[in-house]
Amino acid sequence: MRLSYAFFLILASLVLPAAAADDQSNQEVIKIAVAFTENFDKQNSAGIAALFTKDGVFVSPTGAHTDVAQFYAEAFKAGIERIEVTVKQAAPVGVDAIIGMGEYQTGGRAASGAVIGETGLWTATYVREGGVWKIRMLTGLPKALPPK
């Protein structure tokens, strides 16, 4: 009987810290997502770039973009005005890295007046830089159209 209690105590000591770490990771990713959304909605491409590490990269269907501020400035010029970001999952990878994933939806109007935007999926790798969590790599891909 004591052996089974010892087993469950050891198991609980392994599971509880992992769950707490996942919750903390989730909270850090949500904070960054909120800051990203606020900067996006203000069309502040420099503010978005500040959320990335010095060598951060944004990967889209058009390729890898190392000048994050320029990429978003061009998106704003094209008429994209707003974004909604949902964090679906976040998990630590060691003590100084987190991976996250979720969904996004952008919207706006092109110069012609046409409604533009997309719904997609994102994944990100976060690392500590100067004691602050930052995006090292963000990937955003539009959702595929359903098969006909």
pTM here is: 0.83
Inform me whether the pLDDT recorded for 7 exceeds 70.
no
Instruction: Report which of residues 120 and 94 the model is more confident about.
Output: 120
pLDDT at 22: 73
- Report in angstroms the alpha-carbon separations of 111 from 57, 108, 116: 28, 10, 10
Region 70-74 average pLDDT: 97
Alpha carbon distance 99, 107 (integer Å): 26
User: Tens digit of pLDDT for each residue in 95-134?
Assistant: 899 999 999 999 999 999 999 999 999 999 999 999 999 9
Number of other CB atoms surrounding residue 81 within 10 Å: 15
pLDDT at 43: 97
Inform me whether the pLDDT recorded for 67 exceeds 70.
yes
pLDDT at 146: 81
Burial class (CB in 10 A: 0-12, 13-18, 19+), 100: buried
Q: Which CATH architecture has domain 2-142?
A: Roll (3.10)
106 neighbors 80 (Cβ within 8 angstroms): yes
Q: What angle do CA 139, 141, 142 make, to 5 degrees?
A: 155
Tokens of 73: 């400035």
Predicted confidence band at 47 (pLDDT cuts at 50, 70, 90)? very high
pLDDT at 11: 42
